[in-house]
Amino acid sequence: MADRTETSPTAVPETGVADLGLFGKPLFQDPSARALARVGVVDVGSNSVRLVVFDGAARSPAYFYNEKIMCALGAGMAETGHLSPEGRVRAMSAMRRFKKLADGMGLSELSVVATAAVRDASDGRDFRDEVLRETGLRIWVIDGKEEARLSAQGVLLGWPGAYGLVCDIGGSSMELAEISGGRVGRRETSQLGPLKLRDIKGGAKARKAHIAEVMAGLEDAMGAQRDRLFLVGGSWRAIARIDMARRGYPLQVLHEYRMTSRAVSATVKYIKQTDPEELRQISGVSSNRMALVPYAAEVLGRLIKTFRPKDIAVSSYGIREGMLYEQMPQRLRDRDPLIEACRFAEAKDARMPGFGKILNNFILPLFKSAPAPRKRLIKAACLLHDVSWRAHPDYRAEVCFDNATRANLGGLKHSERIFLGLSLLHRYSNKRENKRFNDLYEMLDEKQRADAEIVGKAMRFGAMMWMNPDEDRGELRWFSKKKQLQLRLTRDMLPLFGEVAQARLESLAASLGATVEIKTVNSPKTSRSRS
């Protein structure tokens, strides 16, 4: 069954327009999309100040530049009411640096937003004035509900049809927003950030009571939320890294990492019982972030007990991506982020941009009965099949697998990353023996691994039919009941079917457990001209 989070039931996610099909005009060439190239965003949070510069395909942007400075602006605010003096100095230094970097990158402007610390501090306005005076950057302070909306939009950037509850935790606050049908619904904000919790008097018992009380109010405001829970924010990502280390999870990609409520409970308990330095060593979390993890874990434990989600997904996309999403026209929002990113990669790096469409059409008869999510991955693989051609031939298959499994791609579950990577590996190699990747292969069952091999070998053979796009081609036909693979070739195409092409076809047939039949047919164009 298809995962409901992948697509909206009413939208056509690949194009947004029902009659264009997957290979309609790529929107990254459209002026409205090109206007979003090289967009810079600064997020002034309670714990960190971060600059992100987006570039590439607007619907699935790459991080051209990404730098974070841990300033802890909100540290001690519960007692003093104003920004941390040390944090303020660090934040001002970061803002000067980011402005200089933006000028060097040729950015016409930076969008700068500040959240809970600057919003609540008595000297928040003074800090904003200082930043404007020293750098010329204007900081826009957003309230908690707006922060929740932008974070939820960031999730929608990666999951166009996502539905469920988004929870964004910062240093001084925690926001909730519901999403469904590509829209943001109810939103709430709270003071459950770990910097605020750390300052509560009375220790663990007082924190527990406070968290329970606030969470009960959030439950009353948000109502029942039993669908997927999307976790946004650095503290959540740190906990996810610890969960990965505890489980020995092989793929170190945080975006779309899935956890169950039981796994979260076990990890919260593990954090409570384990020395923070040991946790830091095994997970790679910074010492500054690790200092806040125990407080965030207390919140997460109560959050899970309160809302009881069906499952939990980590999102690397949040408020910054939400600000980019805010600028997108709706027709761009409706596009599939995976397909748009693959299109962009093909246009930028393939030897023959546009051949991915031809290759997809050529091998598709083998997968007529495949479900839509599988066909989507096959289309993505065809678009990416040639983008790594510059890699050394001895390592090309390995590079393809690495790129697919670790690339910054939205709209992909971890198992789908492995399927895509394995398909591309077999585009360049008949075999997949590689001890480095064995643990990742095991994330797919035997049938899925076999299917990925067939996709890859089909592309490996189809790439031999590289020719003028306007020329007639042969076609593949698959008779599943007879286990027969038929290749129909026009006479003009016969010279392309050499020894290497024949060997690749036989390898594909072996993976299918099929016999091969080759037929020579008249060119459709020749037949039409004679009639």
Here the CATH number for the domain that contains residue 491 is: 1.10.3210.10
- At which residue do the structure tokens 């690949």 appear? 14
How far is 408 from 316, CA to CA, in rounded Å? 10
Residue 468 scores a pLDDT above 70:
no
224 and 125 both lie in a single domain: no
- Angle between helix 234-247 and 276-283 (nearest 10): 80
377 and 513 both lie in a single domain: yes
Banded pLDDT at 524 (limits 50, 70, 90): low
Evaluate whether residue 332 is within a structural domain: no
How long a stretch of residues is the chain? 531
What percentage of the chain carries pLDDT values higher than 70?
89
Q: What is the 3-state secondary structure (H, E, C) of 337-402?
A: HHHHHHHHHHHHHCCCCCHHHHHHHHHHHHHCCCCHHHHHHHHHHHHHCCCCCCCCCCCHHHHHHH
500 and 411 both lie in a single domain: yes
- Give me the pLDDT at residue 457, please: 97
Domain of 169, CATH number, reads 3.30.420.150
Evaluate whether residue 331 is within a structural domain: no
Q: Which residue type sits at 5? A: T
Answer with the one of 321, 356, 388 that is the final residue of a domain: 321
Average pLDDT, the chain: 88
Number of domains the chain is built from = 3
- Give me the pLDDT at residue 330, please: 86
Contact 437, 368 (CB under 8 A): no
Domain of 113, CATH number, reads 3.30.420.40
Question: What CA dihedral angle connects 310, 313, 317 and 319, to 10 degrees?
Answer: 40
- Give me the pLDDT at residue 119, please: 93
Q: Where is pLDDT greater, at 356 or 328?
A: 356
102 and 201 both lie in a single domain: no
Banded pLDDT at 11 (limits 50, 70, 90): very low
- At which residue do the structure tokens 């051949």 appear? 355
Q: Domain range spanning residue 93?
A: 36-141
113-to-39, 41, 236 alpha-carbon distances in Å? 14, 8, 21
Parallel/antiparallel/unpaired status of strands 183-190 and 174-180: antiparallel
78-120 residue pLDDT tens? 889 999 999 999 999 999 999 999 999 998 788 999 999 999 9
298 and 396 both lie in a single domain: no
Residue 531 scores a pLDDT above 70:
no
98 and 207 both lie in a single domain: no
Q: Find the mean pLDDT for residues 73-81.
A: 91
214 and 276 both lie in a single domain: yes
Q: Where is pLDDT greater, at 6 or 156?
A: 156
Residue 4 scores a pLDDT above 70:
no
179 and 41 both lie in a single domain: no
- Give me the pLDDT at residue 435, please: 73
Token pair listed for 47: 């714990």
Residue 486 scores a pLDDT above 90:
yes
Answer with the one of 321, 356, 387 that is the final residue of a domain: 321
226 and 342 both lie in a single domain: no
465 and 357 both lie in a single domain: yes
Residue 65 scores a pLDDT above 80:
yes
292 and 358 both lie in a single domain: no
Token pair listed for 138: 């204007």
392 and 504 both lie in a single domain: yes
185-202 residue pLDDT tens? 999 999 999 999 998 999
Q: Which residue type sits at 261? A: S
How far is 140 from 132, CA to CA, in rounded Å? 11
| φ, ψ dihedrals at 166, nearest 5° | -100, 130
298-338 residue pLDDT tens? 999 999 999 999 999 999 999 999 998 888 888 888 889 99
Banded pLDDT at 17 (limits 50, 70, 90): very low
